Structure 1
Amino acid sequence: MNNMSSHIEADTNVSRLKSYLRKIPFLVRILIVLCIIVVLFIVLFPPKQEPLPEEFVRAREEAALVSKKIVQLTSVTNQKIKEIQVSRVAEDGGRALQLVKEAKDDNAEAYNNAFELSRHLQKLAESLADFSSFRTQRLAYEAVAVELSLVSEFITYTQNLNVFLDGLQRAIERKTLAEKGTILKSLSDVNKNANKINKLNEEFLGKMRKFDSSF
């Protein structure tokens, strides 16, 4: 009798977990657009009315490559999370756990690449001193500063996403919603990060409009 009750309880937990997974907001995709803007910024940034300093060109190209890696990794992580949401956790918990592990690995790599991107952006900022126009330098510095803040927020985002994935992994392994509080808290933090990144992105675009009008 006890075994039957335990079995029924386990089935109920699995059913609730599957239902809960389907309700998790798909927030990560917003970061792809923002990372693409980073790429566009680096590709389109150089002024066309004066020769480009060698250090600027090198830093821009390196930053663009890293940005593209982040875009790719974020996209892959998104897809893994989507697959987890629709996966048959009860029938194939092993597959769901594998997807979580892969998502965590991709997210960790995006985290490391974000640090690398911040270093390239700092080099990019240093190279702006070689431009002759003081106003162009100032506007460019302001834009890069906002972009560095955006990357910093993205780094925090990856950390919170990892907490979310850890909680999700434990929930799937134990087939219970005991981790619901952790999952919801980390998901809320991820959402806050995304909102901050949106605001920073709007600020960045405003800086870029001023930069473009300086020519």
Structure 2
Amino acid sequence: MKIAEFVSKNKIVAIIAAIVVVLVIIFVSYVFSSASGRIVPASFVEARVSASDQAAQLVSILSETTGRIGEVQERIGEYKYTQALEIVTEEAKKDGDIRNRAVQLALELEKMAKAIPNIRSDQAAQVALSATSKEAALIAQLLSYVNELQDLLVQLRLAVSNPRGGFENVNDSIADINKAADEINKLNEEYKAEMSRFDEIIADTEKEE
């Protein structure tokens, strides 16, 4: 096994482990915590800012990559197979960056999860729980996305080496990539909506004091 492949697999394990930790901490912390005297701790606020930044950068990278994947279909339609392969090869190189950012996002979500028991409002805590869970699900979709991207590279290489065999598998891989990208965008939008609701609840709570 190549060193790069070993490191990549370790990163995948780290991401999955972080997701599991986040979900367990969220569940245990919320179930066994007391609602009285809660505030929004600085650790939650800081981790939220960092998580939002990481998520925004990830979505931006995926948006650019997904757009370029659209170009692949155009090049195939024009029989410019070499150009199509060059595009996919270039985008597949972003695999490491995406995985690294996903790890950082998972770590920030873990910090948010640990702080949920200290949030003042039960209602706000429930919203934070839901929002953090959505971002954890987003990380799982990121793994699916990068795996599909690597699969597309393999399928395209095979198709280019034997064009007469058709590009059905390539088109299927592209469809899977687009599906994963749509789900990632959906989860991120849901997360942002939940956090906006969280802010409204906290603002209302502060007015009542």
- TM-score normalised by length of structure 1: 0.59
Alignment: residue pair count:
164
1:134 corresponds to: 122
- Mean Cα deviation higher: 116-125 or 106-115: 106-115
Measure how far apart 1:210 and its partner are: 5.7
SS at match of 1:132: coil
| Aligned with residue 98 of structure 1, among 82, 86, 91 | 86
Q: 2:34 corresponds to which residue?
A: none
Contiguous gaps of at least 5 residues in structure 1: 1-49
The one-letter code sitting in structure 1 at the alignment partner of 2:163 is T
Gaps of 5+ in 2: 1-37, 205-209
Matched, 1:109 2:97: yes
Aligned CA distance change for structure 1 residues 104 and 121 (closer, same or farther; 3 Å): same
Alignment partner, residue 32 of structure 1: none
Structure 1 counterpart of 2:176 = 189
Does residue 157 (structure 1) correspond to residue 145 (structure 2)? The answer is yes
The DSSP-based 3-state class of the residue aligned with 1:136 is: helix
User: Could you say if the C-alpha distance between residues 52 and 73 of structure 1 is closer, same or farther in structure 2, counting changes exceeding 3 Å?
Assistant: same
1:102 positional shift: 0.8
Cα pair distance change 1:145/1:159, threshold 3 Å: same
Which amino acid in structure 1 is aligned with residue 53 of structure 2?
L
Q: How far apart are 1:140 and its partner, in Å? A: 1.1
State the 1:139 CA deviation. 2.0
Residue 142 of structure 1: CA displacement?
Answer: 1.7
2:8 aligns to what?
none
How far apart are 1:106 and its partner, in Å?
1.9
Q: Does 1:55 align with 2:43?
A: yes
* Aligned residue type for 2:144: T
Question: CA–CA distance in 2 between the matches of 1:195 and 1:68?
Answer: 14
Whole-Å separation in 1 of the counterparts to 2:71 and 2:174: 17
Q: How far apart are the structure 2 equivalents of 1:166 and 1:108?
A: 17
1:84 aligned to 72, 75, 78, which one? 72
Query: Is the alpha carbon distance of 1:206 and 1:65 closer, same or farther for their aligned partners in structure 2, counting shifts above 3 Å?
Result: closer
Equivalent position of 1:21 in the other structure: none
What is the CA-CA distance between 1:84 and the residue it aligns to?
Answer: 2.9
Q: d(CA) in 1 for partners of 2:196 and 2:102?
A: 25
CA change 1:202–1:68 in 2 (3 A) is: closer
Q: Any idea what the Cα deviations from partners look like across 1:50-82, whole Å, max 9, x if unmatched?
A: 975221232123213322321332133134323
Match of 1:28 in 2: none
The 8 Å contact of residues 39 and 120 in structure 2, kept in 1 or not, is answered as no
| TM-score, with structure 2 as normaliser | 0.60
Q: CA offset at residue 165 of structure 1?
A: 2.8
Q: Which residue identity does 2:173 align to in structure 1?
A: S
